[in-house]
Amino acid sequence: QGNASASAGKTKAASCAGCHGEDGNSTMPAFPKLAGQHQTYLVKQLQAFKSGARLAPMMAPLAAGLDEQTIQELANYYAGNKISTNPAPKLPANDDDDAPAKTPEQEKAELDALITKGSDLYRNGNISREVSACVACHGPYAEGNKPASFPSLHSQHADYLIKSLTDFKTGARSNNRENMMHMIATKMTDEDIKAVAYYISTM
Ligand code: HEM
Ligand code: HEM
Distance 134 CA to ligand 2 centre (A): 7
Architecture (CATH level 2) of domain 104-202? Orthogonal Bundle (1.10)
Residue nearest to atom 2 of ligand 1 (CA): 46
Q: Are 164 and 158 in contact, with CB atoms under 8 Å apart?
A: no
Q: In the predicted model, what is the mean pLDDT of residues 1-8?
A: 72
**The pLDDT value given to residue 179:** 83
156 touches 32 (CB < 8 A): yes
Exposure string for 147-167, b = 16+ CB within 10 A, e = fewer: eeebbbbbbbbbbbbbbbbbb
Q: pLDDT digits over 147-192, tens only? A: 999 999 999 999 999 999 999 999 888 776 668 899 999 999 999 9
Domain(s) labelled CATH 1.10.760.10 in the chain stretch across 6-79, 104-202
Instruction: Please tell me the predicted confidence (pLDDT) of residue 176.
Output: 66
ipTM above 0.90, yes or no: yes
Model confidence pLDDT, tens digit, residues 96-139: 778 888 889 999 999 999 999 999 999 999 999 999 999 999 99
Mean pLDDT value of segment 20-41? 97
Has residue 11 got a pLDDT over 80? yes
Ligand 1: centre distance to CA 175 (Å):
15
In the CATH scheme, what architecture does the domain 6-79 have? Orthogonal Bundle (1.10)
How remote is the CA of residue 87 from the centroid of ligand 2, in Å?
Answer: 23
Q: Ligand 2: which residues within 6 Å by Cβ?
A: 32, 44, 131-132, 134, 136-138, 150-151, 153, 161, 164-165, 176, 180-181, 184, 196
Tell me the torsion sign for CA atoms 36, 172, 17, 162.
negative
Residue 171 region, left (φ>0) first, then alpha (ψ -120 to 50), else beta?
left
Q: Which of 117, 122, 137 to mutate to test the pocket of ligand 2 (most atoms within 8 A of CB)?
A: 137
